[in-house]
Amino acid sequence: MRFSLNSRYSANFGDIHCADLNEIPAETIPSFDLLCGGFPCQPFSIAGVSKKQSLGRKHGFDDEKQGNLFFEILRIIDYHQPKVIFLENVKNLKSHDKGNTWKVIKSKLSQRGYNIFSQIIDGKYYLPQHRERIFIICFNQSYFPDLDFSFPNPPQKRLYELQDIFEENVDNKYTLSDKLWSYLQQHKENSKAKGNGFGYGIIDHKSEYTRTLSARYYKDGSEILVEQSNKNPRRLTPRECAKLQGFPDDFIIPVSDNQAYKQFGNSVIVPLINDIITQIKLTVDQYNTKYYLKSATPN
Which residues participate in catalysis according to the annotation? 41
Output 155-162 pairs: Cβ under 8 A, ≥24 positions apart.
Answer: 155/125, 155/126, 158/124, 158/125, 158/126, 158/127, 158/128, 159/126, 159/127, 159/246, 159/271, 160/127, 160/128, 161/128, 161/208, 162/128, 162/203, 162/207, 162/208, 162/209, 162/210
User: Which of 263, 270, 269, 268 has its CA nearest to residue 3?
Assistant: 263
Are 261 and 215 in contact by the 8 Å Cβ rule? The answer is yes
Neighbours of 182 (CB within 10 A): 12
Residue 167, C-beta contacts closer than 8 angstroms, at least 6 positions apart: 237, 239, 240
| Beta strand 114-122 pairing with 132-140 | antiparallel
Binning the chain into helix, strand and coil, the percentages to the nearest 5 are 45, 10, 40
Q: What are phi and psi of 125, to 5 degrees?
A: -80, -15
Nearest partner of 242 among 259, 219, 223, judged by Cα: 259
Torsion angles phi and psi, residue 110, rounded to 5: -65, -40
Tell me, rounded to whole angstroms, the distance of Cα 198 from its chain centroid: 22
